A and B are shown apart, each in its own frame.
Chain A
Amino acid sequence: MNLFNIFSDIEKLDGDVAERVEYYTRRNLFKLSRKATAAVATPAILAASLNDAYAQASTVADVLNFALTLEYLEDEFYRTGLATSGLVVAGDQAIIAQISKHEAAHVALLKGALGTAAIAKPTFRFGNAFSTYQVFLATAQTFEDVGVRAYKGQASALLGQAVLTRALQIHSVEARHAAIVRRLRGLKSWISDPAEMPAAAYAGEDNTTQAGVVLTGLPNVTGIDAARSREAFDEILTKQAVLAIAGAYL
């Protein structure tokens, strides 16, 4: 392990670390403890900074592993669906195969980004998801709409991180998937009905106030159905909410 690299990594995450170490060692050390010496205290301060650094780094890894869990789920779901004889109707094969291809690519991408920190694929239980094509599509819609909401919910945790752009680039692909799966089911491609099932997947989608702006009260939206204001913004789901939904398949 290269200590210089570690220090440089810490500085990237905590630009003040050098100043803080210097502050404690030079000036305040003896105030903190009469027995403390610079030689002993410096590693302690460094260790605290290391913890901060790893806390941030592990936040990113946590987010990516959370995403990887959802991608593992989707990847296995579509691969199994396509491999189930007679399940996916001929006319929809191209669409389902394209989605499946993307989910496999997302798994590879996230595993690559995480390296040895990547979690192993869990064992999934899909229940009756492959019993009929309609059940398969309904399950696909849940996975895609929840996936979109899940990525969106983690975006702020990736603020300022290099991996943010990639996460956003996956997020919009999941939204394209959600739109087409909804269309295959004869639904609107946007989340319109807040009473959609499963309820946990669509909780909060009835929101029509964004950043304190009441959308239905805006100028030039008179006569526009309130449903459009619900549809125009997809809402986030917290990690806890997503895991509660995904838990049924784990």
Chain B
Amino acid sequence: MLSSNKDQQVAPGVFVSPEHPSMFLGRRLFLRYAGFTVAASGLLMACSSTETVQVTPTIVDLGSGDTGILNYAYALEQLEAAFYTMVIATPYANMSADEKTILTEIRDHEIIHREFFKAALGSAAIIGLTPNFTAINFSDRASVLGAAKTFEDLGVGAYNGAGKLIKSADYLTLAGKIVSVEARHAAIIRDLLAPRTAAFAGDDVIDATGLDKAYTPTQVLPLAQPFVTNKISGANLPQ
């Protein structure tokens, strides 16, 4: 659902529908319904815990123009930073020293990317998103590295596809400075999964003409959405 005219903007990029005002619900239930597609009334009726968190059924609108693209990148970097923070906070069994170093450094790169976009966007920045990593088993190496591969390849494709939507030469260069680091991440994660093979730039991601993926926001957002509790709208992004 996109923000309608009736919605009120309560913070930059954050819209609240008058039909679904702020509400309280149980923390456990909140976590269970982290996908956040259930009607508000149903959640309120089901609420039984005294431990509460405030939740607002908002749509995070990435915005338009170059600002929208920067927020799009900021959203993806938030997702990646949260993921690797979790990976290092709850390392899978038998994480080698080499892997721990690599994953920690990638975490730090993603945190720097996230904080950079937040600072660069200033008051135009979207809110901090709430991740939903229920699909990932953080105690399992294959699950973690598989998710990392997905995020990195998706990130590379997202930046590659966003380039043509950017109007400012400076922002285009900036995106270029980040995407190659994401591609370095993707390559090494793939090498951890299939050491010393062609997988670092495998035929599954690089086509026969030697090109990496390039995805439009319309392609990327539905793939990223399951990992974010907030509903993200890219409806106003340049096409």
Contact = CB atoms under 8 A, between A and B. Distances in A.
Interface in B76-125: 102, 105, 108-109, 111-113, 115-116, 118-120
B24 to A, nearest CB: 28
Given A172-B212, A190-B184, A213-B120, A232 B112 contact: yes
A236 B177 contact: yes
Interface stretch (B52-60, B137-145, B161-169, B225-233): B161-169
B180 A170 contact: no
A98 interface: yes
B196 interface: yes
A220 B111 contact: yes
B200 A211 contact: no
B105 to A, nearest CB: 6
Contacts of B161: 165
Contacts of A211: 116, 120, 170, 174
A179 B182 CA distance: 10
A103 B211 CA distance: 10
Contacts of B196: 91-92, 94-95
Interface in A189-248: 189-190, 210-211, 213, 215, 218-221, 224-225, 228-229, 231-236
Contacts of B119: 213, 218-219
B186 interface: yes
Interface in B172-207: 172-174, 176-188, 191, 196-198, 200-202, 206
A179 B208 contact: no
B213 to A, nearest CB: 7
A170 to B, nearest CB: 7
A102 interface: yes
Interface string A84-114: 0000000110110111011111101100000
Contacts of B224: none
Most B CB atoms within 10 A — which of A92, A104, A165?
A: A165
Contact of B198 (A95, A104, A164, A172): A95
Interface of A: 91-92, 94-95, 97-99, 101-106, 108-109, 148, 151-152, 155-156, 159, 164-166, 168-180, 183, 188-190, 210-211, 213, 215, 218-221, 224-225, 228-229, 231-236
11 contacts: A97-B198, A105-B210, A155-B163, A159-B166, A165-B160, A165-B214, A168-B160, A173-B210, A183-B187, A189-B185, A228-B109
